[in-house]
A and B are shown apart, each in its own frame.
Chain A
Amino acid sequence: MSLADMASAFLLLGGSAFILLATAGIWRFDDVYSRIHAATKATTLGVLLVIAAALLRVETMADSLKLCLAAILQLISAPVTGHMLGRAAYWAGTELTPFTVIDQLRSADIEH
């Protein structure tokens, strides 16, 4: 097993672990906003790690570029996804957990 393979294996395990963690968050957190936190951060990291692992293993330039494109896409899309979902949920009136201490958007909206 080469060093690259070792690194790759390590990255794979780490990535998978983060994804598992993220989904655990999705299952465990108490409101949709908190779940978005889990989904947009941990999964992105997880995927990036796994993609990095794959980058170490693929051979052609085209394949590497495809992996990079996928990573970029993930980096761009994950936060946008979270933002869009959170915003939609908020304006649709999805309840915040009662543990929310401040809601400055609500007050701004009322002023508006």
Chain B
Amino acid sequence: MEIVTTICYAALALSGLLCVLRLVRGPSLADRVLAVDTLLIAGVAGVAVESARTGSGVYLDVLLVVALVAFIGTTAVARFIERRGAQ
């Protein structure tokens, strides 16, 4: 199990790296937000992996909240983009 989760973490870290690259590159605000959103989803996955690893439910609230927060954040910025134009 440890090996599996380590591989998972590595994959998620790589995902994170790709997201960061997109964040740096842009070019539009929508791209950046998409990158952050995806990064957060990767985070959700990471927390889920941790829960699967330990079988503990301590971080499940976090899992729920990260997903919620990603949703709110992205929607909010989407509204901003819609109002203010491409950046």
Contacts and interface: CB of A to CB of B under 8 A. Distances in A.
Direct contact, A vs B (beta carbon within 8 Å): yes
Interface of A: 1, 5, 8-9, 12-13, 15-17, 19-20, 22-24, 26-27, 32, 35-36, 39, 43-44, 46-47, 50-51, 53-54, 56-60, 62-63, 66-67, 69-70, 73-74, 77-78, 80-81, 84-89, 91-94
B30 to A, nearest CB: 4
Interface of B: 1, 4-5, 7-8, 11-12, 14-16, 18-19, 21-22, 28, 30-31, 33-35, 37-38, 41-42, 44-45, 48-49, 51-53, 55-57, 60-61, 63-64, 67-68, 70-71, 74-75, 78-82, 84-86
Contacts of A43: 38, 41-42
A50 B42 contact: no
Contacts, number: 181
A33 to B, nearest CB: 9
| Leading 8 A-B pairs by shortest Cβ distance | A63-B57, A77-B71, A88-B82, A23-B15, A84-B78, A88-B81, A66-B60, A16-B11
B82 A92 contact: yes
A16 B45 contact: yes
Contacts of B41: 19, 39, 43-44, 46-47, 74, 78
A73 B64 contact: yes
Task: Decide if the interface of chain A is mainly helix, strand, loop or mixed.
Answer: helix
